[in-house]
Chain A
Amino acid sequence: MSMFGAIDNAGSGLVVYRKWLDAVSDNVANINDVKSTGENAFQARYVVAQARDYGNGGGAQVAGVAYGNAEGRVVYSPDNPLADADGNVRMPDIDLAEQMGQLIIAQRGYQANLSVVDRARDAYAQALELGK
């Protein structure tokens, strides 16, 4: 644990939530991707957070990315140029409302870690006022 342990831990949390925001933005951007039924649909990205070096320093990190359902939803869309003989296409199985919920959680988590940085900075600055 270095001199700025609290700030370093909050910084690792900020990286996790930044990556979560990236994943949600990717999911929302690709929510209307259309594929033919012979291909896999766009798979939603979900970051997997875990403790970094638990009990020794602390902090969080992204262990990896979990992928959503590759089958997606088969949608009847005969006008689509990618439609098969039955007029079906494959679209991602992503719920926009759920992604919005995740977006809010990720944003609030990012804000919370920023507050930790701010409060820790204030605390250290006040410690320097000691004895003045």
Chain B
Amino acid sequence: MSIAPIAAIANLAVPSVAAPLAATPAAAPAPDFGNLLGESLDKLQGAQDKSDGLAVQAATGDLTDVHDYMIAATEASVATQLTVAVRDKAVGAFNDIMRMQM
């Protein structure tokens, strides 16, 4: 029983790798999380200011619609809860990454 000697490997085709595409710069910079958070904080500040202004009107007797203040206070409260929830999620994600095993 003869053992075939090791022969040179013929017709070995090395798949060609396409050159990496040149990085195309994005047309417009995507809004990053920091900007989004900043904008939502500005809106939250606006809602709180509106609520505070109506509270002053209620105290001075200039408030014509009782529900206006209650609605503004409710909106400010919900917006604050939303912002806090987003902040908690972001901090949670950061902590998850920090705990990652290297």
- List residues of chain A with CB under 8 Å of any chain B CB: 3-4, 7-8, 10-11, 14-15, 18, 114, 117, 121, 124-125, 128
Q: Which residue of A lies closest to B43 (CB)?
A: A3
Q: Which residue of B lies closest to A129 (CB)?
A: B85
Q: A14-B65, A14-B67, A15-B65 are in contact. Are A4 and B75 (CB under 8 A)?
A: yes
Residues of A within 8 A of B79 (CB): 3
For chain A, what secondary structure do more than half of its interface residues adopt (helix, strand, loop), or is it mixed?
helix
Residues of A within 8 A of B74 (CB): 7, 117, 121
Residues of A within 8 A of B78 (CB): 4, 121, 124-125, 128
Q: How far is the CB of A108 from chain B (nearest CB, A)?
A: 15
Q: A14-B65, A15-B65, A18-B65 are in contact. Are A117 and B81 (CB under 8 A)?
A: no
Kindly state the interface size class of chain B when it binds its partner: 10 to 19
For chain B, what secondary structure do more than half of its interface residues adopt (helix, strand, loop), or is it mixed?
helix
Could you tell me the distance between the alpha carbons of A50 and B71 in the complex, rounded to whole angstroms?
A: 22
- List residues of chain B with CB under 8 Å of any chain A CB: 65, 67-68, 70-71, 74-75, 78-79, 81-82, 85
Q: Is the CB of B75 within 8 A of A7?
A: yes
Of B68, B75, B85, the most chain A CB neighbours within 10 A belong to: B75
- Cross-interface CB contact of A128 among B65, B68, B75, B81, cutoff 8 Å: B81
